[in-house]
């Protein structure tokens, strides 16, 4: 599962998005959620906790989360609760949930998952949370690129 966050400003309007895939890279679900006014780091923490909450809700208890936030990866790896107070309740729920899962977390460069990046940017335009059990039309062409490992670095 890949998740990303986007925030315009500091604080600014934020959103997050993610894509769930099975072990063969088939899409199990995608989400895009507007977050309102947040700092970028809060958006990253909320993106991870929301993704884990979706996995918990759907009974997906074997999760490998990839994120472009190395600090958030470190917090999840250590199960640290040292997070801003505005996101502490969601984060504590997240820590509880991963302690009852087969859970792995690793860092990935933003360019490593175009779908999740596109979903997080799409969330900035939404008025309500969105969930799809497939890749939504605005990013379906990117799913194949990600599955084949085609990265889209900004400098190329």
- Give me the residue spans of the domains in the chain: 2-147
* Rounded distance between C-alpha atoms, residue 67 and residue 113, angstroms: 9
- Mean pLDDT of the region 139-147: 77
Closest to 62 (Cα-Cα) out of 116, 3, 21:
21
- Give yes or no for a contact between 91 and 45, defined as CB atoms under 8 angstroms apart: yes
Q: What is the pLDDT of residue 130?
A: 96
- Give yes or no for a contact between 40 and 79, defined as CB atoms under 8 angstroms apart: no
Torsion of CA 10, 32, 90, 51, to 10 degrees: -120
* Rounded distance between C-alpha atoms, residue 71 and residue 16, angstroms: 17
What CA–CA distances, in Å, run from 127 to 19, 33, 36, 54?
20, 9, 10, 19
Three-class DSSP category at 21: strand
Closest to 126 (Cα-Cα) out of 26, 30, 21:
30
* Rounded distance between C-alpha atoms, residue 48 and residue 138, angstroms: 22
The model's confidence at residue 146, banded by pLDDT at 50, 70 and 90, is low
Does the domain at 2-147 match CATH 3.30.420.10? Answer given as yes
Report the predicted TM-score, pTM, of the whole model to 2 decimal places: 0.86
Q: What is the pLDDT of residue 111?
A: 63
Pairing outcome for strands 12-21 and 27-38:
antiparallel
Instruction: List pLDDT tens digits, range 2-15.
Output: 665 665 657 888 99
Q: Please determine, for residue 153, whether its predicted confidence score (pLDDT) is greater than 60.
A: no
Instruction: List pLDDT tens digits, range 64-103.
Output: 999 888 999 999 999 999 999 999 999 999 999 999 999 9
């Amino acid at each position: 599962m890949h998740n990303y966050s986007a925030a315009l400003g500091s604080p600014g309007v934020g959103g997050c998005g993610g894509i769930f895939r099975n072990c063969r890279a088939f899409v199990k679900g995608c989400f895009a959620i507007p977050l309102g006014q947040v700092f970028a780091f809060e958006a990253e923490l909320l993106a991870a906790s929301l993704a884990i909450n979706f996995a918990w809700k759907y009974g997906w208890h074997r999760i490998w989360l990839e994120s472009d936030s190395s600090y958030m990866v470190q917090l999840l790896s250590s199960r640290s609760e040292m997070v801003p107070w505005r996101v502490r309740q969601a984060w504590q729920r997240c820590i509880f949930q991963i302690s009852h899962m087969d859970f792995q977390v690793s860092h990935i460069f933003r360019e490593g998952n175009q779908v999740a990046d596109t979903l997080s940017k799409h969330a900035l335009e939404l008025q309500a949370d969105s969930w799809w059990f497939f890749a939504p039309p605005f990013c379906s062409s990117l799913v194949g690129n990600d599955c084949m490992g085609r990265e889209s670095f900004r400098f190329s």
